[in-house]
Amino acid sequence: MEESTTYDKKSLKTVQGKTSDFSELAKDCVAFANAKGGSLHIGIEDDNEFPPENQIIDPLLPEKIVKRINELTINVGLFAQIITAENGGQYIDLKIFPANMAIAGTTKGQFYYRDSDKTRPLMPDELSRLMTDKPAYNWETTVSAKINLEKADNTKLKNFVKQIRNSDRVSAFVKDKNDEELLAYYQMIDDNRLLTNLGILWIGTQEQRARLLYSPIIQYIKYDTDDNKVLKYTWDDYQLNPQELMEDIWQKIPDWKESNEISDGLWRKNIPAYNEKVVRELLCNAIVHRPYTTRGDIFIKLYPDRMEITNPGPLPMGVTSQNILQKTVKRNIHLAKVFYDLHLMEAEGSGYDLMYELQLSVGKQVPLVKEGDDYVEITVFRKIIDTEILKLIEYVNQNYSLTQKNRIVLGIIAVKQKILSTELTSILQLQDGERMRSYVDNLINQGLVITRGQKKGNTFLLNPKLLDNAKFNRTTTLKTIEPHRLSTLIEEDLRIHPLSKISDIADRLPDADLKDIRKMVYNMVSNGMLIPNGANKNKTYELAKKK
């Protein structure tokens, strides 16, 4: 089992003998408590899956650990027990419960958070965010009004139960439950048959939803080319549950169902201005991942060239605009499960992958994520950057078997034409280049992508053979020119224009990448092909005289 947000392994040396370090263990416990809770398996080394076969744990040690951690921490709930592994060795399973209503910390006033498989200290601004987020994590299961199940909207209740029983994402074990057990399973009622906040949101009446803090209100505003408002719809009467709300929004707004017409030989092809799956995924994210303890409307703004969806509240703790493609943190976990089980959204963590794939597959820019102090704004662009990319993607889909990761990278390279591995790593929001292999290796092995350079200078390009086979008719550019040809081009340019700055050379070779020109000039100086003159901004270059 790999270490993760909810799991870690510790050596037995951490809690006994001269090497014991309960202070470090306390930090890990605080981190788990401030995140989702989790388990620490004490007695298993980092590189091992099981404890030593002959390892026997002192029966008094679990109690000692709990007592010592309680002395070193605040708001940390623990339970420890001895477990016998498959190989016969023993270890301690230390369970840390999530601190749902308060911030966990050490008695020294230190605060930590579990981020992926690491424990890290909380910065002051993060601590403030965590304090805001804590009530949001309990909102779904809270009973804020004593409304008995009999007072729910019977039509919405029956529809929900029917849809769950017909869903292929729901196990037979769940479908076999009676109606009340089903509602309890999805956290819509408590043990006393009272509607939770989630229950009111989904199967409650209009009056019940109207009194709920804070039921979603959605505003749609259309702007013209001068940013003047030309159309507005508002969903603020609380008649609809989240599923009905999404469907009503999609049906009532015809504008994003418009299309871009492109030429395809003798025919014309219509590409939707906004892919329906992208729009629905964005609406799902806005409804599912917002903090329901924060006041604020969801705004859908449609401009001639883009769509913006603005959600109240910040991103969940641990998620930023720089890691949203790779990071998964659930805020409203039960609402998300309902959406997933009813096929209203993709699995947690795969929604942005889908949006990247769909946008890139038609030659559009990937979604842009912007986070403010109290809002998150997602921008999806309408414009097709290059219509030839559509033909290329269609050809590849018909002739090659690719994963979603492969298609995302292929789309990025097709749009960029040429991209450094470091830049691709940044776009994919990967922490290291090693993880990129799952994205690019299959493309290289199948001959769709070629590489140039090494290490940080490694560059990815579309294979010219692929472009030829796909009849890719993009305008020829110097961006993908081979290094030795670029060297010859610079040499010829300086023969005609001696004593030129790098910026002057770049102006005369507008299609070539400035970074490539600069790198090649420096290499040519190192190889004695060029002679620099002057310094700094005034430095010019000329051809070295041949001996």
Please write the tens of the pLDDT for every residue from 276-312: 999 999 999 899 888 888 889 999 999 999 999 999 9
Supply the pLDDT for residue 457: 73
pLDDT of residue 347: 67
* CA–CA dist 198, 122 (Å, integer): 30
160-188: average pLDDT: 96
**Choice between 482 and 369, residue whose per-residue pLDDT is larger:** 369
Task: Report the pLDDT value the prediction gives residue 379, as an integer from 0 to 100.
Answer: 95
- The beta-strand segments (E) located in 66-117 are 73-74, 77-84, 90-97, 105-106, 112-115
CATH 1.10.10.10 intervals, the chain? 392-473, 480-543
- Which CATH code is given to the segment(s) 7-122? 3.30.950.30
User: CA 25, CA 274: separation in Å to the nearest integer?
Assistant: 50
pLDDT score of 308: 95
DSSP of 214-272: T---EEEEEE-TTS-EEEEEEE-S--S-HHHHHHHHHHH--GGG-EEEEEETTEEEEEE
196 and 187 Cβ atoms separated by less than 8 Å: yes
Helix intervals (H) in 347-433? 351-361, 388-399, 404-416, 421-427
- What's the rounded Cα separation, in Å, for the pair 282 and 351? 8
Distance separating alpha carbons of residues 422 and 430, to the nearest angstrom: 10
Q: Is the sign of the CA dihedral 498, 504, 506, 511 positive or negative?
A: negative
Mean pLDDT on 394-413: 90
pLDDT per position as a tens digit, 121-156 = 988 878 877 877 777 778 899 999 899 999 999 999
Helical pair 333-341 and 276-288, crossing angle rounded to 10 deg: 150
The average confidence (pLDDT) of the chain is 88
Contacts of residues 270-274 at CB distance under 8 Å and 24 or more positions apart, as own/partner, are: 271/362, 271/384, 271/390, 273/382, 274/307, 274/380, 274/382
CA 296 remoteness from chain centre: 23
Output the pLDDT for position 266.
53
pLDDT above 60: residue 349: no
Q: What pLDDT is attached to residue 264?
A: 62
CATH 3.30.300.30 fits 480-543, yes or no: no
Residues of the chain with CATH 3.30.950.30: 7-122
Picking from 507, 491, 503, the residue whose alpha carbon sits closest to that of residue 544 is: 491
In whole angstroms, give the CA distance from residue 277 to residue 120: 36
Bridge partners of residue 219, in order along the sequence: 234, 299
* Residue 190 DSSP label: -
Does pLDDT of 254 surpass 90? no
pLDDT at position 41: 95
pLDDT at residue number 363: 83
Q: What is the pLDDT of residues 473-490, one digit of tens each?
A: 766 666 667 788 888 888
The highest-confidence range among 142-146, 166-170, 437-441, by mean pLDDT, is: 166-170
Give Cα separations from 332 to 262, 289, 322, 338, 442 (angstroms). Answer: 41, 6, 22, 10, 36
Q: Residue 434: pLDDT band by 50, 70, 90 thresholds?
A: low
pLDDT above 90 coverage of the chain, percent: 51
Higher pLDDT, 265 or 219: 219
pLDDT band at 60, cuts 50/70/90? very high
Q: Residue 495 CB: number of other CB atoms within 10 A?
A: 10
Give the span between the Cα atoms of 299 and 310, in whole angstroms. Answer: 5
* CA end-to-end span of the chain: 66
Rounded to the nearest angstrom, the gap between the alpha carbon of residue 147 and the centroid of all alpha carbons in its chain is 37
Architecture of domain 124-385: 2-Layer Sandwich (3.30)
The confidence band for 263, taking pLDDT boundaries of 50, 70 and 90, is: low
CATH 3.30.565.60 in the chain, residue ranges: 124-385
pLDDT for residue 112 is more than 90? yes
Counting residues of the chain whose pLDDT is more than 70, the rounded percentage is 95
DSSP, residue by residue, 485-524: HHHHHHHHHHHHS-SB-HHHHHHHSTTS-HHHHHHHHHHH
Query: Is domain 392-473 annotated with CATH 1.10.10.10?
Result: yes
7-10 and 38-42 strand pairing: parallel
Enumerate residues 6+ apart whose C-beta is below 8 A from 538: 501
pLDDT tens-digit map of 303-321? 999 999 999 988 877 787 8
What is the predicted pLDDT for the residue at 295? 85
The lowest-confidence range among 88-97, 235-244, 459-468 is 459-468
Instruction: Give the span between the Cα atoms of 157 and 173, in whole angstroms.
Output: 20
Q: What is the mean pLDDT of residues 514-531?
A: 88
With a cut of 90, say whether residue 104 has pLDDT above it: yes
